[in-house]
Structure 1
């Protein structure tokens, strides 16, 4: 007997990685960089996440750590990849 987690599967379908350049980002989405400075991964997420309080908290942490100088050229969020995917899964539940 297996378990089915539809919100987790749905979250993985919404989060797309990697995109080689900004031309490949669909309308209504934005690129974010997740992880430590030495090992960042790029994700493309729906713009609607910007309205979620838990996502806004991550953004405020990012502002405290990086200010407006994002070393990767895009929005950089200082959290682990697992924590980010868990947050996205909760947003889609």
Structure 2
């Protein structure tokens, strides 16, 4: 994926996050809501800084391939096992 396409992906996500977070009063500034899971979706609140992390960007690419920007939960949906997501985000929070 080219740099331009990743920049476009991140820009589109930031727009979607602004709209979605306005409706979510429990989302702290500088964070976003993601729904994770293949069948049963679980809601997570993660820092916006994750958008700049290559591992998180890989998950976003997979999400874009599966859902484009029409997310069934109304927010960003990441189609992976919850355990994989928790493992990845725990590695991001330490680095």
Q: What is the TM-score normalised by the length of structure 2?
A: 0.73
**2:25 matched to which residue of 1?**
23
How does 1:12-51 map onto structure 2 within 5 Å?
A: 22-36=24-38, 38-51=39-52
- Alignment RMSD (CA, Å): 1.0
What is the rounded CA distance, in whole Å, between the counterparts of 1:43 and 1:92 in structure 2?
14
User: Structure 1 runs of 4+ off > 4 angstroms?
Assistant: none
Larger radius of gyration: 1
**1:90 matched to which residue of 2?**
91
The secondary structure found in structure 1 opposite 2:32 is strand
* Deviation at residue 41 of structure 1 after TM alignment: 0.4
Higher relative contact order (CA 8 A, sep 6+): 1
Q: What is the TM-score normalised by the length of structure 1?
A: 0.74
Long gaps (5+) in structure 2: 1-22
Which has the larger helix fraction? 2
* Deviation at residue 28 of structure 1 after TM alignment: 0.4
* Deviation at residue 53 of structure 1 after TM alignment: 0.3
What is the rounded CA distance, in whole Å, between the counterparts of 1:92 and 1:76 in structure 2?
20
* Deviation at residue 67 of structure 1 after TM alignment: 0.5
